[in-house]
Structure 1
């Protein structure tokens, strides 16, 4: 398996990156010199060994991205994931995608009954905006790799793929409606939510204006699931998504921070359920945005009353059992929408704001590098001072980058390791099946 793995990936870890930027005279900025001295290269297979060694004791390894639309972040996370799966005992990958949609991809990944014929076909299950976050060429390649890898393993040892998000809750609700034990209660709940299903953001608006919420119908659905013969736990899993989604949108009526925290808590609860499902020694990989992966207590998020997945997992499992890995870029391009639901486009990523971590790493002169942090780094030395760190989401307006996209961060506290790619490229959306068939 190791030989096959290397043959598939080649010897070079990352390809297509520019030559390192020339070093800038930095004697007046001690942090730049410190970053240059501490940087680890990221160009060959062996360069990843220190990071993989650090991951050995962790039950959950969180791999963050600085944007959901950059090819290079997906590529490096895929490579780290493939090596960890091939060389260490990993039970599952959980992504910041919807539970029901990702379950269709998991069927293909684990060769389960009713699976699609290809990764591209399985990924069609992601059918709501921003579907390109998972329906892209790089993630498709990872799904195909997992399918091949699992094909050489017995069913009980195949690596699973799960979604841990709740934004696609209508699909989970439909699964409950389709089940005979919960059809009536699920239909009643959907009827209550019917005015809001096309745009769930109208639910908190209506509640703020005095509308009645749907919690009684949800309680009835919960009772039906509890009374059902749910041997495989599928109904409970779908209910978990639906319950937390209703609470998430309801919280928006009073506090955006409370709503954010409800969604993050759902991520953490889902991961705990997955660890329980796979057994006391199970280990998992998590793909999510930096704002979820990093520990919010070491950033400006804490002052806004916002928690993060990394924070909750460190609290639940301890720092030795969690590894939080972030990533960032100085400039390049990104796949994103200018507004929620807007057409996706390739947008420029302007050079990072002066004085930000991305700017300081750029000045250190590495095209691609990473850092491993020690516990003392968050308290002493140049890295203990907060600097801005950029966060690009699925909605991005480059002209307001400096105003909207930076969070003050103590980097070695917020993350255990950090990957820097000086120039990134936008994700590629693969052609549709009809386009592939054209001569």
Structure 2
């Protein structure tokens, strides 16, 4: 066994970083045995050096991350800072100075993954990022390696624990959105500013990463269609239950039937209670992968938090260190297909539309005509009315999203339609 330790620089020491440092210390002997050489925490770059960090030698703390990376003896850099800068510059500096990188930075990878992969390849180094998607759930590596010989056609999943907690509470208790969000915040599941989660930005970044891996093509954050879940109401859940469904914020990645393009989207959707994703509760994540040879696979587990995310980081660290000892690298970017990402309008899906309409004869016929004029077939209609007002719930057959959107816009212009109360896509059937 090699006796010289592999030296690790840790960038960031918050919830995840401190847990990575703790595990590296408490499991040092096990890590040595699994890797084939000792692993040494050589430095920890932070913004606030005065903060007490239990279990970490104060001598390792520095505010000069660049100097730490340029020491010349760092073998692996673990980046858990998050955000675009300074993380992007620091990762590039790590490669330039001979260090492989383990990152949990979904936002950066979704925006500049291609450039980072190119830099790693240029220097003959590794870029691993299991922790960037779905926390502790082994997902990136199984898709990059275990399914490398298969053809993935579809990925659908819950990849944000905060939103799943909120929607689960709305479903199980009948709470409204704000009430469920307040509970999530009180329990520490939601940030003080939950925008990245509830508006789907976090899930969209993860969707971009997964789409690139699944379809061997470059998918950036800007390519992902995104809708948040702040407009989901208790009434939507009541309607979903009448259909035998629940509501989840889903990341959906699909290869076109002709194999010539892909789509990537994040939005709330109704799914049947019989679908495996419908039973995912609390802040858990789950991803459903459909491959040509392997069939349907489901990956499930905690998708966030210090310990789960640190587990994924340490798994990558072990793999990268083993590669260092073998003087080899793991899989890099696979983007050989260069498939275009189609716009949301090309996606074929179903809609659940709730309308507030005048309670008088001919309204249903007028609404049905509007759907027909846009080439959208109606599956079911439910109507109830009282005192001159009525609600009309229409569930469509599958149609291009552009046709469905056009139908909704036309409905808004009808004199008999007082408002479009809710629009929800229906998936997983």
TM-score range, shorter chain: under 0.3
Highest RCO, 1 vs 2 (Cα 8 Å, sep ≥ 6): 1
TM-score, normalising length: structure 1? 0.22
TM-score, normalising length: structure 2? 0.23
Larger Rg: 2
